Amino acid sequence: MSSILSNIKTIFRLWHQYAKMDLLWLLRDTRYCLIQIFSDAVTALASVSAVLLISRKFGGIAGMSFEEMLFLCGFAVLIDGFILLFFGGNNIAYISRIIGRGQLDHMLIQPVPLWIQLLTGGFMPFSGSSKLLCGIVLTVISLRRLAFTVTPLWVLWLILNILCSAAIILSFVYVFSCCTFYAPVAAEEIAMVIHDLFSDTKTYPLAGLTKRGATVFCSILPVGLAAWFPAEMMLGKTPAGLPGITFYLAAALWCAAAVLLFRKGLIHYGKYSSNRYTGFGHR
């Protein structure tokens, strides 16, 4: 119990330190920081504008009305905002860069467990909050248009689903980023490619696919689990005819796969390290 409390204190202490550093950047270079915050907001809105315009033009997509599509897009932006807020700094969400550049040594020599560093090292509460705010605005607007009754329990369910969706995306990224342990040059940017895969597809509903196709995109290639599946659940639907427990089981399995493969990759890294260390980009 004492070790658990000690780890929790360490996590909050590191979050506090990273929050102060992020605030210092905002105060030191306010203009550049605000430009980045504004750019993130524009990027968030642009990422969902196409599917929303198509939905508006045709009165919905794949059985989802425009208002439901607005909720789906708002939920997708919420997930992106959560990942940016907690894992956007220091390339934590793009772990293949750290591994491929040999910068994992920076973390392994620290007197803090690696998992705590990965959990806290990307925290950016000031410069990384714009996408999350955009997602909140879009979600609130969609719920008002749907005349949806929001209860405290439903809000807790929403937060749980955001955590699970983010876990699925990051786990999928980390699973493929483990290739960087064995091919640091070729796989250095694989995390960015995986993130782009989710960014390009997670706002599209899969109800128009066959059940087999929807099952594939909700299991082996979990882009449907990133936003569409939980959004449908929260709207009271049964996505692809699959039970809701599928979503939470998938999140647990992908997290377990990421942990196992990352540990295996660390064993390889401990034996062979990396011969292409660079100080560039570790920020």
The reported pLDDT for the residue numbered 280 is 58
Residue 282 inside a domain? The answer is no
Least confident of 52-56, 229-233, 247-251: 52-56
Report yes or no on 9 lying in a domain: yes
* H or E segment to which residue 6 belongs: helix 2-28
> Over the chain, what is the mean pLDDT?
87
pLDDT in tens, 94-123: 999 999 888 888 888 888 899 999 999 889
Residue 183 belongs to a domain: yes
Enumerate residues 6+ apart whose C-beta is below 8 A from 80: 44, 47, 131, 135, 199
Structure-block tokens of residue 253? 């399995």
Q: Does the global pTM surpass 0.75?
A: yes
Interatomic CA distance for residues 164 and 248, integer angstroms: 7
pLDDT at position 277 is: 62
Q: Do the Cβ atoms of 182 and 272 come closer than 8 Å?
A: no
Residue 213 in domain = yes
Whether 260 is covered by a domain: the verdict is: yes
Residue 249 is predicted with a pLDDT of: 92
Helix (H) or strand (E) holding 70: helix 66-87
pLDDT tens profile 24-45: 888 888 888 888 888 888 888 8
Name the residue range of residue 243's domain. Answer: 2-272
Tally of domains within the chain: 1
Q: Are 219 and 250 in contact (CB under 8 A)?
A: yes
23 part of a folded domain: yes
Is 190 inside a domain boundary? yes
Chain centroid offset of residue 272 CA:
30
| Measured distance CA(189)–CA(100) in Å, rounded | 8
Q: Is residue 218 part of a domain?
A: yes
